[in-house]
Amino acid sequence: MEFGWSDAHEAYRAKITAFLKKTLPADWDQIALHGPGSDAQTDYSRHFCKLLNDEGMLIPHWPAEYGGEDLDPWQQYVLGEELWAVGEPRGGQYMNVNWVGPVLMKYGTAAQREKYFPPIKAGEALWCQGFSEPSAGSDLASLRTLAVPADGGYRVTGAKVWTSYAGHADRCFLLARVPARDGGPAGKAGIVILLTDMASPGIQVKQIPALIGEGDIHEVFFDDVFVPAEDRLGAEGQAWEIINYALQNERVGIPRYAFSRRILDSTVAQLQEDGRFDDPVFQDRAGRALALTEAARMLVYRVVDSRAHNLPPDAFGNLARWATVNSDNGVNNLLTEYRPEGLLGADPMQQAHHQRAIAAGVASGAAEIQLNLAARRYLDLPSGEQRGL
Ligand X SMILES: Cc1cc2nc3c(=O)[nH]c(=O)nc-3n(C[C@H](O)[C@H](O)[C@H](O)COP(=O)(O)OP(=O)(O)OC[C@H]3O[C@@H](n4cnc5c(N)ncnc54)[C@H](O)[C@@H]3O)c2cc1C
Number of residue whose CB is nearest ligand X = 137
268 binding ligand X? (CB under 6 A) = no
252: Cβ–Cβ under 8 A, 6 or more apart, which residues?
Answer: 300, 303, 304, 317, 320, 321, 324
DSSP letter for each residue of 116-160: HHHHHHTT---EEEE--BTTBSSSGGG---EEEEETTEEEEEEEE
3-state secondary structure of 289: helix
Q: How many CB atoms lie within 10 A of CB 300?
A: 29
Q: Considering beta carbons, is residue 82 or 250 the nearer one to ligand X?
A: 250
Q: In sequence order, which residues have a C-beta less than 8 Å from that of residue 233 and are 6 or more positions away?
A: 103, 104, 107, 108, 112, 173, 193, 194, 195, 239, 242
Binding mask 216-255 for ligand X (x = CB under 6 A): -x--------------------------------------
Per-residue exposure over 309-346, b if at least 16 CB sit within 10 Å of its own CB, e if not: eeeebeebbbbbbbbbbbbbbbbbbbbebbbeeebeeb
Q: Which is nearer to ligand X, 31 or 217 (CB)?
A: 217
Q: Does 196 bind ligand X (CB under 6 A)?
A: no
- φ/ψ of residue 9, rounded to 5: -70, -40
Q: Of the candidates 198, 363, 373, 374, which one interacts with ligand X according to CB under 6 A? A: 363
Max Cα distance, the chain (Å): 71
Q: Does 141 bind ligand X (CB under 6 A)?
A: no
Residue 98 main-chain phi, psi, to 5 deg: -80, -45
Catalytic annotation, pick one of 250, 273, 337, 368: 250
Residues 27-86 that bind ligand X (CB under 6 A): none
79 or 359: CB nearest ligand X: 359
Applying the rule CB under 6 A, the residues between 299 and 358 that interact with ligand X are none
Closer residue to ligand X in complex, CB, 71/220: 220
**Among the candidate windows 260-268, 269-277, 314-322, 368-376, which touches ligand X by CB under 6 A?**
368-376
Question: Measured from the CB of residue 4, what is the shortest distance to ligand X in angstroms?
Answer: 35
Closest separation in Å from C-beta 74 to ligand X: 27
On whether the CB atoms of residues 49 and 95 are closer than 8 A, the answer is no
| Closest distance of CB 372 from ligand X, Å | 5
Interface characters, 112-131, with ligand X (x: CB under 6 A): ----------------xxxx
Catalytic annotation present for 250: yes
So which residues are the catalytic ones?
Answer: 250
Can you give the binding site for ligand X, defined by CB under 6 A?
A: 128-132, 137-138, 162-164, 212, 217, 359, 362-363, 365-366, 368-369, 372
